Structure 1
């Protein structure tokens, strides 16, 4: 399923992370990258939880993090989070469209 995101120009790797913090599916992600990316997802979930609580809103659409290794898009999918790392913020529109198409929200 998520392997199709690797066909999008600029996508470096992607992973679907379950609510327990474990990888459900991945593509292009090396074992070396794994700990850092899981830390990003955990931190992103904490930020989102705090914002949801403070803004009194139950839903979120996505979170873009621009980190040293390049931009990372976190997108909810049920109780899982899809992480998509890509090479340049200029590719954000293309990546967002591909993620939404994959998750069936387009």
Structure 2
């Protein structure tokens, strides 16, 4: 499923993480970034929960984190989160389009 994201120029790797913080599926090379990616997803969940509590809103579309290893886009997929790590913030539009296209196929 998420392997299709690897065809998008600039995507370094992608993962789908369940509500328990476990990797459901992964695509592309991750190397030592694997634990850091899971920590980013956990931190992203905390930020989103805090914002939802503050705003009284239950829905979110995506969250961009621009970290030392490069930008990461977190997108909800039911109770799971799709993480797409990519090369440059300038690629954000292309990455968001590819993610939306992928989610439309699910």
Q: Does structure 2 conserve the Cα–Cα contact (< 8 Å) formed by 1:72 and 1:86?
A: yes
- 2:27 is matched with which residue? 27
Contact 1:71–1:85 (Cα < 8 Å) also in 2:
yes
Secondary structure (helix, strand or coil) at the match of 1:9 reads coil
In structure 2, the gaps of 5 or more residues are: none
5+ long unaligned stretches in structure 1:
none
| Distance in 1 between residues matched to 2:63 and 2:52, nearest whole Å | 12
Cα distance, 1:25 vs. partner? 0.5
Q: How many residues align?
A: 105
8 Å CA contact 1:15–1:82 kept in 2: the answer is yes
Structure 1 CA distance, aligned partners of 2:21 and 2:39?
A: 9
Where do 4+ consecutive residues of structure 1 move more than 3 Å? none
Is 1:10 the counterpart of 2:10 in the alignment?
A: yes
Aligned-partner SS, 2:96: helix
Shift of 1:67: 0.3
- CA RMSD, Structure 1 to Structure 2 (Å): 1.1
1:15/1:29 contact within 8 Å kept: no
CA deviation string 1:16-51 (max 9, x = no partner): 000000000100143422100000000000000000
Give the structure-1-normalised TM-score: 0.96
TM-score when normalising by structure 2: 0.96
3-state SS of paired residue (1:59): coil
